[in-house]
Structure 1
Amino acid sequence: MAKELILLDEWLSMFGMRARIALAEKEIEYEYREEDLDNKSQMLLQMNPIHKKIPVLIHNGKPIAESIIIVEYIDEVWKDKAPFLPSDPYQKAQARFWADFVNKKIGDVGGRIWAGKREEIEVAKKELVENLKELEKVLGEKAYFGGDTFGFVDIALIPFHSWFYTYETLGDFKVEIECPKLIAWAKRCNQRESVAKSVAHENEVYDFVLQYRKKLHLD
């Protein structure tokens, strides 16, 4: 299977972490190839010529790009393991909606914190907290976003927990104070082997961001 399945990825990428978690949940063997995003491989450029970004899952020579699409592809192809998406059409649509919300309201806003100028951080921080509170409402008292089962929205969101420390340090706030149920959920997710072995450590992320910001003179 490793020869048939290749993941082009970058270890600190929250989007790449999604693909790794999904593959681990389904217990799928694959070949991992770390990309240097400052010197992208020919394979990456050939397999994702439109966006030229990671992650890219290559299955039997055919590329699948965009992390949420990759997670859904894995779910559809490897059906012998527990599904990520619910079977009910409405619940499935809701899961897709909230995964898209994570991309736009957590990913994009978080990017304005870690890669933004100092004066942009305060505004982005407030937006991020508001958006996390919306997700906490959706989570409610459930163990996972889908109920008792770890699934699609959990996979979409949990990689960002590795970046929370960086957001908090740059923005001078604490997610746990604002969204305690969300942090309890994150701790639950991180106890899963599939998550624990697939996500970057918060200190690795922070060190990378410090170097990035120093390089671009953002502070």
Structure 2
Amino acid sequence: MACEKGEGDVVLLDFWASPFGQRVRIALAEKGVAYEYREEDLANKSRMLLEMNPVHKKIPVLVHGGKPVCESLIIVQYIDEVWAHPNPLLPTEPYPRARARFWADFIDKKIYDCGTRLWKLKGEALQEAKKEMICILKLLEGELGDKKYFGGDAFGFVDVALVPFTSWFYTYETSAGFSVEEECPKLAAWAKRCAEERESVRKTLYDPQKIYEFVGLLKKKFGVE
């Protein structure tokens, strides 16, 4: 499929449950970019994936005009630059732009790692991971404040970075015994608002129960009971 703007075809190498790949899908949807989706078997990676991301050998990879772009936040920024309109994701002014990048980087470094520990660990280690996750979410809620989205009235870069993890919240909550809605009501309301008001989010995210079932398979794979 050809993209609406820009040169060359657009191909996305991805895996359905990946919150990092979902970032890219949401960004492409926000921009109205048509693309070819190629689902990867992460246990048997395709030759194309290995050739297009020889350093990390991971999804997602956006291939635009035969040229690969890797790492989800870099891909989202690339999409925002190549298809600048509609729906710009990053602010135009340097300071708010830097601030958005800071929080997206914070999400990248914190959420996935801590969330993985929630379903892998037990006992005291699990309780420590739970405390850390609640702290992370509260910091994000503090940045959100009373705004509609992280950037204000417009859905943007930080929202794209974080919203895929909301479909994982049920798994985190069930694994560690806490409630995002109780701990961070504004953040929970933001997640609901994104799903209800952004078609890009609604059509990309999977049912939390399906994610929970997928994590159950991962537990078996890693011998986590």
Q: What TM-score, normalized by structure 1, do the two folds share?
A: 0.97
Question: Is residue 2:70 matched to residue 1:46?
Answer: no
In structure 2, distance between residues paired with 1:66 and 1:204: 25
Partner of 1:16: 21
In structure 1, distance between residues paired with 2:149 and 2:176: 27
In structure 1, distance between residues paired with 2:126 and 2:61: 30
* SS of corresponding position for 1:63: strand
Which runs of 4 or more aligned residues in structure 1 lie more than 4 Å from their structure 2 counterparts after TM superposition?
A: none
1:107 is displaced (CA, Å) by 1.9
Quick one: which of 71, 82, 93 aligns to 1:88? Answer: 93
In structure 1, distance between residues paired with 2:175 and 2:87: 38
1:77 is displaced (CA, Å) by 0.2
Instruction: Give CA deviations for 1:123-178 in whole Å, capped at 9, x if unaligned.
Output: 11110100100000000000000000000000000000010000000101111100
Quick one: which of 200, 204, 211 aligns to 2:206? Answer: 200
Report sequence identity in percent.
Answer: 60
Partner of 2:221: 215
In structure 2, distance between residues paired with 1:155 and 1:15: 10
Deviates more, 1:117-126 or 1:202-211: 117-126
CA contact (8 A) 1:12 1:204 kept: no
1:214 is displaced (CA, Å) by 1.9
Quick one: which of 66, 69, 72 aligns to 1:67? Answer: 72
In structure 1, distance between residues paired with 2:117 and 2:21: 19
In structure 1, distance between residues paired with 2:139 and 2:222: 32
CA contact (8 A) 1:21 1:155 kept: yes
Question: Is residue 2:166 matched to residue 1:161?
Answer: yes
Quick one: which of 165, 172, 177 aligns to 1:172? Answer: 177
Letter in 2 for 1:117: L
1:82 is displaced (CA, Å) by 2.0
* SS of corresponding position for 1:58: strand
CA contact (8 A) 1:118 1:218 kept: no
Quick one: which of 109, 117, 140 aligns to 2:114? Answer: 109
In structure 1, distance between residues paired with 2:183 and 2:13: 35
Deviates more, 1:145-154 or 1:209-218: 209-218
RMSD, aligned α-carbons: 1.0
In structure 1, distance between residues paired with 2:84 and 2:101: 18
* SS of corresponding position for 1:6: strand
Instruction: Give CA deviations for 1:41-97 in whole Å, capped at 9, x if unaligned.
Output: 000000001111100000000000000000000000001212100011000000000
1:36 is displaced (CA, Å) by 0.6
Quick one: which of 55, 79, 83 aligns to 1:78? Answer: 83
- Count how many residue pairs are aligned between Structure 1 and Structure 2: 218
In structure 1, distance between residues paired with 2:182 and 2:30: 30
Q: What TM-score, normalized by structure 2, do the two folds share?
A: 0.94
Q: Structure 1 unaligned segments of length 5 or more: list them.
A: none
In structure 2, distance between residues paired with 1:117 and 1:184: 28
* SS of corresponding position for 1:79: coil
Q: Structure 2 unaligned segments of length 5 or more: list them.
A: none
